[in-house]
Structure 1
Amino acid sequence: MSKNIEIIVADDHPMLLKGLTEELISNNYKVIDTAENGALALELIIARNPDIAILDIEMPLLTGFEVIKKCENENLKTKFIVLTSHKESRYIYKANNLNISGYLLKDEPFEEIQKCINTVITGKNYFSQTFSQLFDTKISPELEKIKLLSPSERTIVRLISQGKNSKDISEMLLISLRTVQKHRANILNKLDLESSTDALSIWANNNKELLLTI
């Protein structure tokens, strides 16, 4: 089956790109093109419509996520696998909500990539065990906490994630500074955060993607 699977690989690290391409070819996969930036990857994917595109997240010109987003309305058969070194919750949550069939970490063995490709080509999704564990242990609990917030509290946390301070929020929402501070105290309690100056700002920034969807 592998020799009939057409693949495009995109990564801005030449050695990683070369190594993965050679590994795929030696295992009878048909690598039809490669790209070292997101713009070229997008162009090649639209032009050649491969079975699978393996993309790094962080690339020049367009990120892997942006490439996938731009391909959504192109009526392609291509299945997308993200290969990345990012383990942060915001990347994992974003990947889970885009049209991505596979999510793998770069430090995993090639056998895991093979397993992912062979699963994805059948129409099923494949996320590495690390991905699944992180989603279950880090993201799901934070989503549950966010659900405890009232609509007003969620609005305030979103504004905090955008770098707004209490005075800014007070002026934007036309409420008193004291009301904002009361909301912040309630939010800290519901999110089970320490009552320090930066705790809520750090949490809001780390969970920005989650806040945009709820």
Structure 2
Amino acid sequence: MNHNTSILVADDHPVLLKGLRDELLNLEFNVLEGATNGAQALELIVSKKPTIAILDINMPFLTGFEVIKKCQLESLKTKFIILTSYKEKGFVLKAKKMKISGYLLKDEPFSEIKKCIKEVSNGRFYASKVFDDVFNNEISPQIQKIKFLSPSERTIVRLIAGENSTKEIAEILSISTRTVDKHRSNIISKLDLPSDSLSVWVKDNKDLLENV
């Protein structure tokens, strides 16, 4: 029954926070006091140990992701649902990496939140359709491309991501600039990129490079 499921909602927008808590109370969930910032959310999760915590990403003091990471370090059994406006691949990848139980967009109808809570309560991952679209169409294909790079090429790509020039990369790796240029050429070929777009690609996929 719903009253056996305790839920904490954390969002720094008072209207959204109250609206979501009211909807959950109407469904007879055991809804805890709402949190308006990340530090308050963390304190309540640690002390109350809710079944589920629904967190915004951007909150004062601690982000939703930072709250989740700290709770995971404490080995708490609370399951986490991110409720956010962000659909960019960096956020989707981070949620996937942290094994968050649910990922919903704020413009979804409340019926989606209700469905997500049900699935998460039963140990299943649930996300907005856009989450899977971004992962399958934007993240996964790029990860597969990166996996074709050799360890040396991945190192050079990460150094490019750190805004190092060819000369700086050569000095860091104790190789010639000609060797760096050869690696860059091979990387561009493997990633199937136009010859002058490696820096742009690296900037767009910086989050992926940290996870492959």
Q: Which residue of 2 aligns with 1:206?
A: 204
CA distance in 1, matches of 2:71, 2:192: 39
> Where do residues 53-92 of structure 1 align in structure 2 (5 Å cutoff)?
53-92=53-92
Query: Which residue identity lines up with residue 113 of structure 2 in the other structure?
Result: I
Once the 2 structures are TM-superposed, how far is the Cα of residue 93 of structure 1 from its aligned partner?
A: 1.1
Amino acid at match of 1:85: S
Q: Which moved more, 1:138-147 or 1:182-191?
A: 182-191
| Correspondence for 1:132 | 132
**Partner letter of residue 206 of structure 1?**
D
1:171 is aligned to 171
Residue 16 (structure 1) aligned with residue 16 (structure 2): yes
CA distance in 2, matches of 1:212, 1:95: 14
Gap runs ≥5 in structure 1: none
Is contact 1:37–1:61 with CA below 8 Å preserved after alignment? Answer: yes
TM-score (norm 1): 0.92
Report Cα offsets for 1:82-141 as digits up to 9, x if no partner.
111111111111111113111111111111111000110111111222211211111110
Under a length normalisation based on structure 2, what TM-score does the superposition of the two structures give?
0.93
Question: Hey, what's the Cα distance between the residues in 2 that align with 1:209 and 1:16?
Answer: 30
Matches within 5 A, 1:91-102: 91-102=91-102
Which position in structure 2 is the counterpart of 1:47?
A: 47
Q: 1:12 to 1:200 in 2, by over 3 A?
A: farther
1:139-158 equivalent positions in 2, closer than 5 A: 139-158=139-158
Report % sequence identity.
Answer: 59
* Distance (whole Å) between structure 2 residues aligned to residue 88 and residue 68 of structure 1: 19
| TM superposition shift of 1:40 | 1.3
Determine the C-alpha separation between the residues in 2 that align with 1:205 and 1:19: 38
Q: Secondary structure at the match of 1:124?
A: coil
Rounded to whole Å, the distance in 2 between the matches of 1:107 and 1:202 is 31
CA distance in 2, matches of 1:154, 1:172: 14
Q: Which residue pairs with 2:195 in the alignment?
A: 195
How many correspondences in the alignment?
Answer: 212
| Alignment-mate amino acid for residue 152 of structure 1 | S
Asked whether 1:111 is paired with 2:107, we answer no
* Structure 2 gap segments, 5+ residues each: none
After superposition, the Cα gap between the structure-2 partners of 1:121 and 1:193, relative to the gap in structure 1 and judged at 3 Å, is: same
